[in-house]
Every structure is written in C-alpha cells, then in structure tokens.
Amino acid sequence: MKTLQIIAIIALMLPCIVLAQEQTSRQKLSEHEDNFRVNNKNYEPRMLKAGLNSHKELDSMLLYIYYEGDSVRDRKWEFSFDEMDNKTMQANYVWDLENNKWQAYGANFCFPDGCGKHEYIFDSAGRILAHITFSWSDEWYASGKIEYNYNEEGKLSLYTVYDWDYVHNDWRQSEYCVYRYDDSGILSWKNEYEWDFEQNEWVRHERIEYNYDGDERSTIETYYHWDTIQRDWTYHSQYEYSYDTSGYQTQKIYSRWNSDQNDWKPNSKIESNYDDGRLVLEMNYHYSGLNHWEAENKTEYSYNDEGKMILELHYHNGGRWRITDKIERNYDTDNDITMIVTSGLIEGNLEVLMKHFYHYSSPATGIDHLTDDEVILFPNPTSGIINITGLTQRAEVKMYSIQGQLMKSFTQVEDLINVSDLKSGIYILQLSTNNGNLVRRIVIEK
C-alpha cells in the first residue's frame, strides 16, 4: 500500500516539479511574456533561457526517485544553449533498470517538451522561429514541428503546428493560431484553428479576448469555443485578474459560463501575497455558492538573502490545515540552482520522494560560446560555398530552412562548407564545437 501511495504522489507531483524547475532556471518573465505563460498554452513561445548568474552552462538535469531511503535513477534531461543563452536543444531519457543505462525517451507526440528530443531555432533578435520535436525508435526521428511568425513590430502574429505524415512522408498542418493587436501593440485577441481530417477543412476551435486596465495589465481573459451547430463563438470560461499598487497580481478568479442561467459561474480563486516584491503566500479557494469561497490549498514560499526561492510548503485544508509536501532548492556560490528536493506526506510523515540534480559545464577555457572574432563565415549571401576561418576543431553543422526543417547535417573538418545542393533562400546555420555554438542566418543566391 505504501509503495502504491508513493507512486501515486510522484505521478501527481512530477509535472508540477518539472514546471517549477523550468521557472527556476528561467530569467524573469516580462509582463507580455508572462501573459503567455499564465494562459498555459503549450504551443506559444516561452522563455527558453538558461537564466544563470555565472558563465556556466546547464548541461543536464538528473531525477532520482527515493523509496525508504534508497534512491533509483529515473529521468535525465540534456540541454544545449546558443551564444544568446537561448535553449537550442533538450533531450529526455529514462533509466533502463534491466540494462543499467540511460534510454532515450520519446513518444509519438511530445509537445511542449515533456518527452522526446526538442530543437529550437531563433533569429538574431532572440525570437523563436521553430520548435522541432523528435521521437525515439532506435534513433531520433522528427515527429512534430511548430513555426512562429511575427509582425513588423516583432510581436507574435501566427504559429502553425505540424505533425509528420508517415504515409506521404511530409509535414502536414494540424493547428494554427492567429494573434491580433490594437494600435498600441497590446494583444487584443487570438483565434485557434484545427484541421478536420475527415472533412478536409480548417475548423475554428478556440478564441481568447483580452481586456486591460490603464497600466496595460490584463484584467479579463474571455475564452470562447466554436459552436458547430450555431456556427458562432460561445462563451466557455473566463479569468479575472486584480493587482496591488506595485503591479503584482493579487487575485485570479476562474469562472465558467452557465448556459442555463445565461451568466458566469465562479469556480476557483487564487489570492497572492507579497513581501518586498516576493511571492510569500498563495491561497487557493473553491466557490461553494451563495457568494462563499472555501479555502482548499495554500503554498508558503521562503527565500535566501539573494532573493532566490529556497522553500515551498504546500498545505491542504481538510477541516484544518495540514502540510502535504514541500520543495527545497539548493544553490551554489554563484547562486545557480544545484538541487531540488521534493518531499511528500507518507503515512503521516514527510519523506523525500525525489531529487533533481543540475549539472553545468566548466568555464575553465574561459570561452562559453563561439563569437565572430573566433569563427568567421563568408561570403553571406553565398552562391553555394561558405568559407570558414578560425575553426580549430571538428564541428557539427546543421542547416535549417527558415520554417525550421532540417535540410542538411554533417561533420565539418575543412575550411569551407558546400551548400550548393540547397535552393536559393534564407537558412539558419548552426555550428557546434566543444567550445560552444554559433548560429547564423545564411542567404543563398544563385
């Protein structure tokens, strides 16, 4: 019974812990980017930054599962970053107990990045252009892709989701989302569409409309679903946000549309308290009717002197507050995360359930990334031959189309790259050595 209890707790907590790790390793979100995160839409650009305080680079993260004091390897994540600190690759592995080795872990569809291998392509401004996901079957193979487009102001205007058609051996569109902004550049609404493979046509799926206060903070987000019978958008759900005088979000209310009463019905609420700009308490409520909210869960947060979160305590209200689990974070002398320890309530006691260990590359060489002073590529534009100067070791080279499709991959040891087999157009070249990565936009003109 105890074993089943531990497995159930880990299964429930792991997605939350992975999200917490990502938030810990990311840089602080801007207000506009935070709106994307709050909306919890898998396919939208998220902060894919290393977010470190030193010159180290995050190489991998290991998860160990604990049972009665014994630890077992469970999962591993490997990472790569470019010279702008953007995450360019994440690969996921599980521990094979039978063969005592790490095994690539990838299902058929792994968006956003919970399993499989993921490669990310960015432009020179650091905006993500493509997210390619790979599944595993004896080797990595491309299985999904997202392409991102931006308007003249650099704001996200469209993303398109593709999956791999194994019958026709080509990418096929499955979803897309259109974004629209007002004259001030503030997001007004977005529409999501899905491809109906039976009817062979695009169908509306979801619409979100945004309202803001005078400080351009999101106050109401209204979700609509497409009614195929009425052929119109119908209310589905709504989020309402409140802020304090410092601009921190203090309340979030979630409501669902009650079509019988033709009105919004409150469902849940989160209240947040801050101390000197740091989140210290979150209260979760459930609406019980008659304008009454019942407290269900709460989370308390603690920080070190540098402002890094070191402890989360989670409680549940079952007539009285009772601690259910805690998350502890440890940092090195550079104040970069090194370990996350998660404990859960087992038979009345808090026991360690899992530990995440962060491993970084050593800055011993003093060179974290390749720069234009070290490696020079020319000419650009090119008719088919790219010269390289400054390359002192073997390099892995990948050429992507501007839509994110891998066009060419090879090991480079000479002082020139032959891309004459590619058509005229704009490409993204990614060059990787032991000293770092170099990402450049290459124009081929014939």
Span 170-193, pLDDT tens digits: 999 999 999 999 999 999 999 999
- At 70 the pLDDT is 75
- At 283 the pLDDT is 98
- At 115 the pLDDT is 77
Q: What is the pTM of this model?
A: 0.71
Are 146 and 128 in contact by the 8 Å Cβ rule? The answer is: no
3-state SS, residue 207: strand
Going by C-alpha positions, the residue among 228, 224, 227, 251 that lies closest to residue 237 is: 224
Check whether 93 has a pLDDT greater than 70: yes
Domain limits of the chain? Answer: 376-444
E strand or H helix at 18: helix 2-25
- At 114 the pLDDT is 60
- Architecture of domain 376-444 in CATH? Sandwich (2.60)
R_g over Cα of the chain: 24
> Can you read off the two tokens belonging to residue 67?
């049972």
Q: What is the mean pLDDT of the chain?
A: 82
CA distance 94 to 101: 9
Span 231-282, pLDDT tens digits: 999 999 999 999 999 999 999 999 999 999 999 999 999 999 999 999 999 9
Distance set, CA 39 to CA 13, 220, 246 (Å) = 21, 12, 22
Are 233 and 225 in contact by the 8 Å Cβ rule? The answer is: yes
Instruction: Return the amino acid letter for 336.
Output: D
Check whether 289 has a pLDDT greater than 50: yes
The number of residues in the chain equals 446
> Can you read off the two tokens belonging to residue 402?
């501007």
- At 46 the pLDDT is 47
Check whether 293 has a pLDDT greater than 90: yes
φ, ψ dihedrals at 109, nearest 5°: -145, 115
Contacts of 380 (CB under 8 A, 6+ apart): 386, 440, 442, 443
Span 139-180, pLDDT tens digits: 888 899 999 999 999 999 999 999 999 888 999 999 999 999
Kindly report which listed range (376-380, 401-405, 427-431) carries the lowest average pLDDT score.
401-405
Check whether 66 has a pLDDT greater than 60: yes
pLDDT grade for 136, boundaries at 50, 70 and 90: confident
Distance set, CA 308 to CA 23, 260, 303 (Å) = 12, 48, 5
